[in-house]
Structure 1
Amino acid sequence: MATRSGERRHSSWFRRPSPAPGARVRLVCFPHAGGAASFYARWPRPAGPLVEVLCVQYPGREEREGEPFAGSVEEIAAGVAAELDGPVAGSGRAAAPVALFGHSLGAVVAYETARRLRAAPRHLFASGRPAPDEPETSTLHLGGDDALLAELRRLGGTPEELLADPVVRSLVLSRLRADYRLNELYRHAGGPPLDAPVTALLGGSDPEVDAERAERWKAHTSAAFDTEVFPGDHFYLAEREEEVVAAVLARLGLPRVVARRWPSTP
């Protein structure tokens, strides 16, 4: 099925901006609270032909705008895992292992997805969020619009011109409130650690998580663990897409893609 932009969708849960039939890894990317699949739309270029980027689309946004928002983190994780174990795996790409990347809310959705997959993922990349067993204590989803707007401005990443438009602001806040509800009501259920390597990524000036809190992801894997800190705030990856993708490729054992520049003409 084609979207209005001509991009192909893999299923209701995924967008596939650039098909990669020869991919060695499928990188499944989960957006932040209030975000959408389009946040990762530019990742296929630096990822290169050996990685197929599947962008998760949560209900209630973009082409899924008419659907109700998800009721829980676990609901999204179950839906994505079922697609990865079923129709997506059966579409001729079963040989390509899955790696998961999630930012902020997306990190815990990626983690819960990993727990539900029949086979352990190749790698879990948890960006911009404390470990899943650290409960969220805020209740912003119960507050007014002003509190949510203040939160958006605190974290950065949302242009002020978008918030100045009443229609766009209402749309952004409705998504954000729904996703903050998921994040604030989520509680980690006990269980064995993942049998997959985990990398925690963060911005050095992120107000949501520091290196010490990111390190606590180590308790959630029986495999290798490491962290990487990038310059920037909570949305460090929006300004450093190529660096972040390069870090992902390195841990997947894949070569970094170097953009070729045409020689200048006189």
Structure 2
Amino acid sequence: MHQEADSPWVRRFTPCPPSAPRLICFPHVGGAASAYVALSRALAPHVEVLALQYPARQDRRHEPHPGSIPALADGVVDALRTVLDGRPYAFFGHSMGALLAFETVRRMTAAGAPGPVRLFASARRAPSVPRAEAVHLRDDAGLLAEIRRLSGTGQQVLEDEELLALALPTIRADYRAVETYRYVPGAPLDCPVTVFAGDRDTETDTPDLVAEWAGLTAGDTDLRVYSGGHFYLDGRAEEVAAEIVARLRTAAADRSPA
């Protein structure tokens, strides 16, 4: 698997033409940049994926976990300052990644930096919706039970005791960051939001998703539902890519002078 590192935080698996817009992808709990290899390939050459590699996993496993969503968002903002080159870009965040993408947009807006043309929020209720969960306080067996329920960690990791021992502290730290996050009211986002969800995802209440996210942006909000559970994206990269390309082409047309 070929990858290029733009910074410790960013990976490119499928470089695209300089004219292609970019999609900054935020992984889920326990996830790494490699979670977006299939989507990157499906989007090329129309959209270039820059997948985020958070600390405390894979080649960054010796770095400490930032500990919270705000701290992670601060790190992402710092990294993107050296990577973004003025071309249009969007954010795609899955589960924890959607929460982190939201907080990153907020920080970029507050700093006066050009924001994304669209936020794709996948498999996640709006950050403003309280979630009373404490998975991070479970013992290892309880944490593993939740991972297996959501089917979000590769079977290779679940079956390899050595890999599992390395991964569990990071997964627990990710859950702690999500479950201790508290939404702070603020100015609405100025970009539209497209919400993606699986029709069998027990983590989201699909009928309410649009209304929840619509309250956080001054832009339009819409919903696309796919067959599948929390990790519907596995095996549906082509369908999701087609929707992303269409949305970014619309954004490009809206930005073009009349």
Fold agreement, TM-score > 0.5: yes
Matched, 1:42 2:38: yes
Partners of 1:62 and 1:154 in 2: how far apart? Answer: 23
Selected match of 1:87 from 61, 65, 82: 82
Question: Per-residue deviation at 1:159?
Answer: 4.5
Partners of 2:13 and 2:123 in 1: how far apart? Answer: 24
Alignment of 1:81-230 (within 5 A): 81-84=77-80, 86-89=81-84, 93-94=85-86, 96-117=87-108, 118-215=113-210, 216-230=212-226
Selected match of 1:249 from 245, 249, 257: 245
Question: Per-residue deviation at 1:162?
Answer: 3.0
Alignment of 1:44-83 (within 5 A): 44-83=40-79
Partners of 1:210 and 1:164 in 2: how far apart? Answer: 31
Partners of 1:234 and 1:18 in 2: how far apart? Answer: 25
Conservation of the 8 A alpha-carbon contact between 1:201 and 1:227: yes
Partners of 1:42 and 1:210 in 2: how far apart? Answer: 27
Which residue of structure 2 aligns with residue 262 of structure 1? none
Partners of 1:75 and 1:180 in 2: how far apart? Answer: 14
Q: Deviations over 1:68-121 (max 9, x none)?
A: 11211111112212222x2113xxx32x11200000000000111111121221
RMSD of aligned Cα (Å): 1.5
2:169 aligns to what SS in structure 1?
Answer: helix
Partners of 2:65 and 2:221 in 1: how far apart? Answer: 33
1:9 aligns to what SS in structure 2?
Answer: strand
2:244 aligns to what SS in structure 1?
Answer: helix
Conservation of the 8 A alpha-carbon contact between 2:57 and 2:167: no
Residues 230 and 6 (structure 1), Cα distance of their counterparts in 2 relative to 1, 3 Å cut: closer
Q: Deviations over 1:127-178 (max 9, x none)?
A: 0011001122111111101111110121123344531221122223222101
Conservation of the 8 A alpha-carbon contact between 2:197 and 2:230: yes
- In terms of fraction of residues, the more helix-rich structure is 2
Conservation of the 8 A alpha-carbon contact between 2:14 and 2:44: no
2:54 aligns to what SS in structure 1?
Answer: coil
Conservation of the 8 A alpha-carbon contact between 1:37 and 1:57: yes
Partners of 2:144 and 2:138 in 1: how far apart? Answer: 11
Unmatched runs of 5 consecutive residues or more in structure 1: 255-266
Q: Percent identity?
A: 46
Question: Per-residue deviation at 1:59?
Answer: 0.3
Partners of 2:208 and 2:127 in 1: how far apart? Answer: 11
Partners of 1:214 and 1:142 in 2: how far apart? Answer: 27
2:233 aligns to what SS in structure 1?
Answer: helix
Question: Per-residue deviation at 1:6?
Answer: 4.9
Partners of 1:57 and 1:175 in 2: how far apart? Answer: 13
Which residue of structure 1 aligns with residue 3 of structure 2? 7
Partners of 1:161 and 1:51 in 2: how far apart? Answer: 30
Conservation of the 8 A alpha-carbon contact between 2:33 and 2:53: yes
- State the number of aligned residues: 245
Query: Which residue identity is paired with 1:181?
Result: R
Partners of 1:114 and 1:225 in 2: how far apart? Answer: 16
Residues 213 and 154 (structure 1), Cα distance of their counterparts in 2 relative to 1, 3 Å cut: farther
Selected match of 2:27 from 16, 26, 31: 31
Query: Which residue identity is paired with 2:227?
Result: P
Partners of 2:248 and 2:93 in 1: how far apart? Answer: 16
Residues 50 and 167 (structure 1), Cα distance of their counterparts in 2 relative to 1, 3 Å cut: same
